[in-house]
Amino acid sequence: MDKLAIVVPCYNEEEVLQLASKTLRDVLDLLIEKGKIAADSFILFVNDGSKDRTWELIEKEHAQYAQVRGLKLAGNVGHQNALTAGLLTAMDMCDVTVSIDADLQDDVNVIEEMVDKFHEGKDIVYGVRSSRKKDSFFKRSTAQGFYRFMSLMGVKTIYNHADFRLMSRRAVEQFSRYEESNLFLRGMVPLIGYETDSVYYERRERAAGESKYPFKKMLALALNGITSFSIKPIGLITTLGFLIVIGSVAAAVYALISYFTENAVPGWTSLILSIWFIGGVQLLAIGLVGQYIGKIYMEVKHRPRYNIEKIL
């Protein structure tokens, strides 16, 4: 029987922790009863340096219920790092993991469907939001813009999927070999390459407490997602510099011609053109240097060059 670990990153979640624990224990009980997972399956709460009573509550839950385990991180390292810590810790203790936020916005009832797909042989199952009706107009449009922009930058992500997903033990093991320090799990998991599937659900409001992702953190996550996965922006700068240089040379030719046809403004053209030209050359140069930095950057990550699917 497969042992399931539900990994839950928590940052200042005292208001919702006990409810989350109860809800997830019920899910485990149901799946154990149906014979879909092993009886010693568990929930791993990862305390991401909370400043409130979150850790005390995790300790209390652990003392009371054998199914609850806890991982305490030293200081706040952010959602992505906390989730990774949880997954890598759970990896050695289970056969399959499900990651979910503490706030119960994601529908716990589709975990069963995820486990079913795992039994059908899928290594990664994405939880995908079927709609964003509950989101504010602002959140919805920025999120959609973000996914579009990511694909424009050549980063493969699953549309409307956050960090609610099932990963088999071997998928997590492969993931552990991605040693980069700027984590963006949504972009990294599709690189693992094992067979995937999706389940769909309606996302709810937070069960309690408020969002730990203010606009600033959201923007940081988006920027990190792009710059950790693509060096296209550097190429765009180079192209821009190149176009400006071409443009200013063309304008210089035009200025020369109009000089001889007598309707030119004296002085202005040469001044503005030299500014354009120097600006273009600078951008081109920065872009060129950037290309090299981009290369070094991609190298320094030490990403694995391949993933082994099977060994006989």
* Greatest CA separation for the chain: 92
Question: What is the token pair recorded at 76?
Answer: 């706040």
Selection from Mg ion, ligand UDP, none that 212 binds (CB < 5 to 8 A by kind) is ligand UDP
Interaction of residue 207 with Mg ion, rule CB under 5 A: no
Pick from 4, 5, 7, 9: which binds ligand UDP (CB under 6 A)?
Answer: 9
Cα dihedral 87, 89, 94, 97 in deg (nearest 10): -10
Q: Binding of ligand UDP at residue 185 (CB under 6 A)?
A: no
**Of 85, 78, 74, 15, nearest in space to 216 by CA:** 78
CB of 148 to ligand UDP, least distance (A): 19
Q: Closest Cα partner for 26 from 111, 125, 126? A: 111
**Which residue among 82, 125, 166, 192 contacts ligand UDP (CB under 6 A)?**
82
Binds Mg ion by CB under 5 A, chosen from 23, 76, 105, 291: 105
We find the least distance from the C-beta atom of residue 188 to ligand UDP, in angstroms, to be: 17
Q: Which of residues 10-29 bind ligand UDP (CB under 6 A)?
A: 10-11, 13
Closer CB to ligand UDP, residue 162 or residue 244? Answer: 162
Contacts of 268 by beta carbon, 8 Å cutoff, 6+ apart: none
CA–chain centroid gap for 78, Å, is 12
Near ligand UDP in 62-81, by CB under 6 A: 76, 78-79
Question: C-alpha dihedral over 145, 151, 155, 159, to 10 degrees?
Answer: 70
* CA–CA separation, 84 and 175 (whole Å): 9
- Is residue 283 within 8 Å of residue 234, measured between CB atoms? no
- Closer by beta carbon to Mg ion, 156 or else 217: 217
Q: Are 70 and 62 in contact (CB under 8 A)?
A: yes
Q: If 0-12 CB within 10 Å is exposed, 13-18 middle and 19+ buried, where does residue 291 land?
A: middle
Residue pair 236/290 in contact by the 8 Å Cβ criterion: no
CB of 219 to Mg ion, least distance (A): 17
Q: Is 122 left (phi over 0), alpha (psi -120 to 50) or beta?
A: beta
Contact code string over 62-101 relative to Mg ion, x by CB under 5 A: ---------------------------------------x
Decide if residue 269 touches Mg ion (CB under 5 A): no
Output the smallest distance, CB 101 to ligand UDP, in A. Answer: 4
Query: Binding of Mg ion at residue 142 (CB under 5 A)?
Result: no
Question: Contacts with ligand UDP: how many residues (CB under 6 A)?
Answer: 16
Binding residue for ligand UDP, selected from 65, 200, 213, 297, defined by CB under 6 A: 213
Is 221 in contact with 182 (CB distance < 8 Å)? no
Task: Find the part of the chain contacting ligand UDP (CB under 6 A) among 59-67, 99-107, 127-135, 167-175.
Answer: 99-107
Binding site for Mg ion (CB under 5 A): 101, 103, 105
Binding site for ligand UDP (CB under 6 A): 9-11, 13, 48, 76, 78-79, 82, 101-103, 105, 211-213
